[in-house]
């Protein structure tokens, strides 16, 4: 039987139009894998837990939810903001932008598109990475402490839509790299474009992504017409 991922990244370019764009951050706009691995090794050592156990489930999940699994006393926002806020300061040299990430954010800003970031990270973490990497700061930012449930619950993306002033729209595109985030975007009723930056193609397909690309170099901003952003999607998987 053929694998679910049989095919290649060679789909014909297409232009899609949306009222707004919401993007995940870690693994989608920046690659902080090395930094996060070092961070969780340190935390695992403090908790006397095998770091491989934490790393197997931590990506795309709020740290406060991860901490609940190992030490309820540390599953609070003061502690989580403290440990996440240190990551860019201590491991800043271990993070880079996802290819095409800076260009996409610059283009969204220049075009005047409605866009924002919806992340499982804390405000301290995201602001730290934006500062260290000197990336455009989103005017609309939904972070871990803004919602009562993390991904795959859709409330984060629904809040993002509301903050864009598009509460009645289903014409929203979500950019994601993790299955939990893909499921959140789909549960919100939005179109999801997934990147193969952190998970296998099969995992992204199983999570329900509408389109899959290798990285953000395949997503170009063509412009904004009547308030709606036009995106050219190149070399999607087919």
Which residue in 24, 31, 177, 215 is the catalytic one? 24
Cα–Cα distance measured from residue 221 to residue 201, given in angstroms and rounded to the nearest whole number: 24
- Is 19 annotated in the active site? no
Which residue in 26, 31, 177, 215 is the catalytic one? 26
Which one, of 168, 128, 125, 121, lies nearest residue 142 by Cα? 121
Contact 210, 191 (CB under 8 A): yes
Query: How large is the greatest C-alpha to C-alpha distance in the chain, in angstroms?
Result: 55
- Is 31 annotated in the active site? no
Cα–Cα distance measured from residue 105 to residue 108, given in angstroms and rounded to the nearest whole number: 5
225 secondary structure, DSSP code:
E
- C-alpha angle 169/114/217, rounded to 5°? 110
- C-alpha angle 85/71/40, rounded to 5°? 45
Cα–Cα distance measured from residue 7 to residue 155, given in angstroms and rounded to the nearest whole number: 33
DSSP string, 91-112: HGGG-EEPTTHHHHHHHHHHHT
The bridge status of strand 96-97 relative to strand 30-31 is: antiparallel
For the annotated catalytic residues, the residue numbers are 24, 26
């Amino acid at each position: 039987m053929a694998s679910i991922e049989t095919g290649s990244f060679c789909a014909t370019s297409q232009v899609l139009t949306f009222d707004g764009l919401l993007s995940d951050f870690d693994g989608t706009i920046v690659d902080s894998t090395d930094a996060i691995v070092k961070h969780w090794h340190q935390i695992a050592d403090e908790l006397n837990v095998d770091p491989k156990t934490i790393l197997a489930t931590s990506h795309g999940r709020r740290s406060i939810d991860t901490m609940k699994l190992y030490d309820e006393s540390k599953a609070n926002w003061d502690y989580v903001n403290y440990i996440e806020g240190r990551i860019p300061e201590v491991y800043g040299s271990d993070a880079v932008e996802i290819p095409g990430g800076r260009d996409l954010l610059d283009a969204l800003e220049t075009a005047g598109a409605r866009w924002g970031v919806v992340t499982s990270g804390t405000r301290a973490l995201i602001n730290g990475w934006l500062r260290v990497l000197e990336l455009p700061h989103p005017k609309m930012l939904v972070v871990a402490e803004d919602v009562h449930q993390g991904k795959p619950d859709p409330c984060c993306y629904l809040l993002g839509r509301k903050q864009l002033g598009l509460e009645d729209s289903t014409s929203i595109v979500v950019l994601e790299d993790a299955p939990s985030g893909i499921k959140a975007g789909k549960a919100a009723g939005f179109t999801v474009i997934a990147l193969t930056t952190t998970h296998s193609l099969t995992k992204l397909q199983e999570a329900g992504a509408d389109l899959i690309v290798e990285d953000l170099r395949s997503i170009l901003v063509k412009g904004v017409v009547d308030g709606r952003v036009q995106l050219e999607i190149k070399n999607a998987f087919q």
